[in-house]
Structure 1
């Protein structure tokens, strides 16, 4: 839908359901799932997440699914924005409260962030993650069957398979190693799917809102932890990121996550899976750029990082 028609729908719905008058409506940049706007109203600011015109609520554009999980987590210890209103008429959209704070990805964001702040926020994120994984899955209506480690691997193998081999040299060997020794699943949990500091709004050190829920599922919590660890080491991103002095080690972050609980088995496999996933995503983005589907010269910086992720992932699993 056009921004003007969406704005009209938002204004009418907020007035009818909340008694709020819309006074400003501006796009928020940086997201990749649907359309995102900041709406100023007579009762406070809200964030609008909307399905693009011509699309339906499916896949990464499924705003109704995102609204559903946020509503399901309301009242839990997981910090999420409060959903204000949902409009199920296609193209669907929902409004959630605007949460004041800051999100940062220390090894990737430009300009550089304070390393002490980054390290402490990363520690808090690791300590808060168990809140998400402790949510009772029975309280979430319509939940699909949990994804096993094998399911996750094949999901990303498909993405990898769509990337020209010359952009992901060595990925076939990493995929072979992952397939050769797939861990047995452990008790499934709620999984955000993209848990990292860039998707956490913090007030000082404390996480106040976990955002960007487009790929949540039930699954193996080690998949989430392995992905989080990819962003704790700037050496994973040569050419596009930076190494940040003082960031906690993977061992420290895992210890903060497990607390006094039992050790998590076979974490190296999930660490390697996280690197494969990132290599597949970056390879896909680079392919789209080179094919002219999404022109972005910065994508030409990715080959060194893709190679590094594949090489280090392979090293984690090599006999």
Structure 2
């Protein structure tokens, strides 16, 4: 007797779901596991109803692997996709949120959007040249739409302004039991320059950056990865986008490696957001750089006993020193670009 492989079992389960949704049956051989994502699995597949082909994506946390505690669950993420799409944010259509009866773990099925997510290709490939000049402005406009979504239309989310974000970062750092003078300096600077807590939070994407956007020759097609979404200060998203690590070598173009802070702010204002002081964006860039530096250090630590070794972890871990140099550069010059 031949035992069905896990991929074959998943394909059969998806076939039942797509038939029930009216999308037809899954196309044999179309199910492919995509790379990327430490906590979620992402699968590409196609369904056909006899007249129309439906390119689809399955995002799931398998039943035997709980979602990371600092992330929103996949059902919440799917509902954020739906809310953002309803308010003009470019998002894929969500076809189905998985239930226990589907027996595929937690997750959702969405339409598959064509385009590129690999940041280095977006920043260097000639075919993206027509789009690059307007990407920073588009990012600002999209972020303004995200921040304007009424809170009543969102699923439950944690609230975290600068003090809460700082406290969580410091707890992670102290847990490493190391002394990194540059990180200590950054914590002191962040405490001394903390912005006032807003009377009303907004939806914060939490990981809006080059690499989490699907882009084609016309510009941004889709915003991905709402796993770190929360309520808080809107400038956190603008600052995170300008962290040097997300410029992928294009240091002189702080907004994602493809534009300027001025272009980002202009797009934000055009999209309905307030006119932003670049110095306020700097605060969140410093925090973003510190946050990524701490994450890099965590990646550099030995993996838990029995866990698989990962080249990716080692590659990320070695970038701690890059984050320290970025922090020294910002804190030494007070740069706002």
Please indicate the TM-score interval, normalised by the length of the shorter structure: 0.7 to 0.9
5+ residue gaps, structure 2: none
Are 2:136 and 2:267, in contact at CA under 8 Å, matched by a contact in 1?
no
- Whether the 8 Å CA contact 1:193–1:213 is kept in 2: the answer is yes
1:173-215 deviations in Å (ceiling 9; x for gaps)? 2112212332112342111110012111123233221111111
Matched residue count: 308
Which residue, out of 278, 287, 296, partners 2:292? 278
Q: Is the 8 A contact 2:80 2:155 kept in 1?
A: no
How far the C-alpha of 1:220 sits from its partner, in A, is 0.5
Residue in 2 that maps onto 1:52: 62
Unmatched tracts of structure 1, length 5 or more:
235-240
CA deviation map 1:4-54 (0-9, x unaligned)? 433332221111222420122110112233111001111311000111241
The RMSD of aligned alpha carbons is: 3.1
Q: Deviations over 1:44-88 (max 9, x none)?
A: 110001112412356347211211211223322111111011112
Task: Name the structure 1 match of 2:37.
Answer: 31
* Partner of residue 146 from structure 2, selected from 128, 132, 147: 132
Deviations 1:82-121 (A, max 9, x none): 1011112162221000011222424xx6994448443432
TM-score, L = length of structure 2: 0.79
Contact 2:81/2:92 (8 A) holds in 1: yes
The counterpart of 1:295, out of the listed 310, 313, 316, is 310
Give, in whole Å, the separation in 1 of the partners of 2:274 and 2:117. 29
Distance 1:57 1:204 in 2: 34
- Listed as ranges, the matches of 1:57-96 within 5 Å are 57=67, 59=69, 60=71, 62-89=73-100, 91-96=105-110
CA distance in 1, matches of 2:95, 2:217: 25
1:249 maps to which of 260, 269, 282: 260
Deviations 1:116-171 (A, max 9, x none): 44343233222322111111112114344x321111222222333344526x4420
- In the alignment, which residue of structure 1 is the partner of 2:10? 6
Give the Cα separation in 2 of the matches to 1:233 and 1:22. 36
- In the alignment, the residues of structure 2 paired with residue 223 and residue 136 of structure 1 have an alpha-carbon distance, to the nearest angstrom, of 18
Residue 136 of structure 2 is matched in structure 1 by 122
**Match of 1:142, SS?**
coil
> Which sits farther off after the overlay, 224-233 or 124-133?
224-233
The TM-score, its normalising length taken from structure 1, stands at: 0.83
Contact 1:201 1:208 in 2 (8 A): yes
| Greater Cα shift, 80-89 or 65-74 | 65-74
1:17 is aligned to: 21
Kept in 2: contact 1:46–1:97 (CA 8 A)? yes
1:215-241 C-alpha deviation (Å, 9 max, x unpaired): 11111101111101115874xxxxxx4
The CA distance in 2 between the partners of 1:152 and 1:138, in whole Å, is 23
> What's the CA shift for 1:262?
3.4
1:307 pairs with 2:314: no
**Structure 2 counterpart of 1:176, from 188, 191, 214:** 188
Residues 162-173 of structure 1 mapped to structure 2, 5 A cutoff: 162-163=175-176, 165=178, 168-173=180-185
Among 99, 108, 113, which residue is 1:99 paired with? 113
Shift of residue 270, structure 1, vs aligned partner = 1.6
